[in-house]
Structure 1
Amino acid sequence: MLVRIVKMGFHEDRIEEFLENFEDIKSEIRNFEGCQFLELYRDKDNTNRFFTYSYWKNEAALENYRNSELFENVWAETKILFNEKPEAWSVDKIYSLH
């Protein structure tokens, strides 16, 4: 399993637009083949900063999503709202406590 963390900062006046877009598309992302989990977080101190946290079956599944029409549309709608360059990390989960 691959864990993908993406940090995004938005212009203050575009946050609601981002949240509405995410609400509309979140199920499609989560149901994309190979996506096993999806969450959205908001920074407590810098409230214009958000993080997506997702699990992917493997790197190929993530790459299939990143090369899909769905991602192309999501990214086109999202990137115009940024106030800073997004950052992304692909990590392996080492341990989890439940």
Structure 2
Amino acid sequence: MFIRIVKMRFQEDKIEAFLENFHQFKDQIRSFEGNHLLELYRDKNDPRTFFTYSYWESETHLNNYRKSELFGQVWPFTKTLFSDKPEAWSVDKLVSLS
């Protein structure tokens, strides 16, 4: 499993546009081949900061998404709303307790 975390900070007046866009495409992203989980989080102390958390079958599957027409619809628009450069991490899960 390949886990991707992306931190995004938005211009305050662009948050609603981001949320509308995310909700428009979330099901398509989640059903993209190789995606096993998609979650969106909002920072409790800074409401302009959001995180996406996604599980991918492999790095290849994530890269296929990043080269897809769907990504081409989502990411260019999202980038126009940022107040800061996004950050991204690719991580391996070491422990999970439920």
Task: Tell me the TM-score normalized by structure 1.
Answer: 0.98
Map residues 1-98 of structure 1 onto 2, 5 A cutoff. Answer: 1-98=1-98
Size of the aligned set, in residue pairs, is 98
1:19 CA displacement? 0.4
For residue 44 of structure 1, give the secondary structure of its aligned residue in structure 2.
coil
What is the RMSD of the two structures over their aligned residues, measured on CA atoms? Answer: 0.5
Equivalent residue letter for 2:94: I
Equivalent residue letter for 2:63: E
1:96 CA displacement? 0.3
Equivalent residue letter for 1:74: V
* 1:43-92 alpha-carbon deviations (Å, 9 max, x no partner): 00011000000000011000100111111110111000000000000111
For residue 96 of structure 1, give the secondary structure of its aligned residue in structure 2.
coil
For residue 4 of structure 2, give the secondary structure of its aligned residue in structure 1.
strand
Structure 1 runs (4+) deviating above 6 angstroms are none
Task: Tell me the TM-score normalized by structure 2.
Answer: 0.98
For residue 81 of structure 2, give the secondary structure of its aligned residue in structure 1.
coil
